Structure 1
Amino acid sequence: MMIYLNEHIHPEALETVGRHAEIVQDYSQIEEIHAIIVRTEPVTREIIEKAKNLKVIGKHGIGYDNIDVEAAKELGVSVVYTPTANFQAVAELIVTLMSSTSRNIVQNVERIKGGKLTTNAPADLVGTEMVGKTVALIGMGNVALTAAAILRNGYQMNITGYDPFVSNEKATSLGIKKYDSVAELLPEADYINVSVPLTDTTRNIISENELRLCKRSAILINTSRGGTVNETDLYQALKDGTIRAAASDVFVTEPPTLDHPLIQLENFVPTPHIGASTEESMYRMGTTVVREVLTVLAGDKAKYHVL
């Protein structure tokens, strides 16, 4: 068998692939490829159509918007993923970014390293505490709920949320005050967390209209997908003080570069799509996606299949 794999995965997962198949890192023999394993690399219709022997595409992660699922379905190619492997890691990053932006950690570090510090505890970088504040969850999947548990138990935060796929009864059982729209959710939120897949309905789910509903002291966190938050509108909101601060692990074009307007703002904290980048998460994602791909290639049904 021949498996295409050109992105970093956990060494143990890579070793497993190598024991079962020949690994190729380009599409020079695309018609001979039986499986494709990707993290963020796109798998287009053109690739799927050319890979005449392709049986399965494995996504190393939760979101599979980089895969043309419709083309895979039309051509009878299975798509598998790792929906439970990385939510702890991403949830911990959400809490980290909330804490970092609340205490102006990046600005303080940059001031010290840049030789611009003139006093201890700079008056213009006074932070805010998270205890007892309200966090609004846009999307209430595993990632958001794991973060919510940390925030509730560790910071006694009030949890509110919006998710059309979660019932009011379910939300209540989880101790979450659920709203029927994003617009209703935002005005009382001190922190806003975006944890949704990128779809036609979630693209720009946060844009100018939504940002203007927020408190001026609000902090926005996005670890979902670039495009769920309108970057141009967020830039303007941060620049004019519509909201206090934001942090994002995801961008429309990745990785972000210095010429990106948001990167220039002191009240914006960027990270380069590191949500799932922990040793533990990489192990779980790598071993899971490899197992699922090999299961399909063996003619059996995968546990975590999109198609």
Structure 2
Amino acid sequence: GIAVAEKKLVESLLALHREKECEIHLRGAEMPHNLMKEIVRLFGPDLHGLKQKVAGVDFKLNVRRHILSFSGSKEQKHQIENIIAGIVQDMSGRQVRMHNDEATCPICLSEVEDGFKLEACGHEFCRLCLIDQIEAAIHSRDGFPLCCIDEGCKMPFFLVDLRSLLSSEQLDELFRASVGAFVASSGGKYRFCPTPDCPSVYKVADPESPVGLFICGACSAEICTKCHIESHPFMTCEQYKEFKEDPDRSLKEWKRGKEHVKNCLACGYTIEKVDG
């Protein structure tokens, strides 16, 4: 029994020695800038596809440090390194083709000046051309969502792109314009708070739904999301509309036909004779 236990212990120690903790760095001078993103795209966020290729290995991806770690044998490490190398080679080939094919800016069709590569797709443009594209979208309220206009691409701009291209003031202006474009294209499903210059947006209540309430976080206004005026919790929209048009309507209806109810000749207030 002792001999068998010793044998199992030795085998376990040997296996532990063989399966060392390994790390592969996915960021560096010779690595494509979005290698980790490509690996996630190919194998999934949990690297399930990579686990299927290299059975018995549990992978961990440190997204902050761009490091792929795992425990495995030398053979498994070599297999994984070959897979990563193949991805790097494929990405490098695509980048070379992109460089050869895109020596000119897709916007101005001239040689790229002060080039800027979009994070999502890697297509390169003149920096000023991209800024012009963004500013045109801001001023026309068209062209949203902002996407790469290289032929057949349509990948969206990332926030990191916008922060690199625009000042903080321009970025605020872009956000306001994009919200405006969203509201305009919503087909009436969303509206701006009716308070002048208020940037808040609310969802319009369905026609069949009861009165809805929107409390604006920016200006504290309380808005009915069905008729889009101030909230009226104890009246329907129709009743409140009639009240707004003629606040004294209910009083006039009550007075009609009552001889003992008159308006005071001095102040105009309604008075009711109850005795004498």
TM-score (norm 1): 0.22
Quick check: which has more Rg, 1 or 2? 2
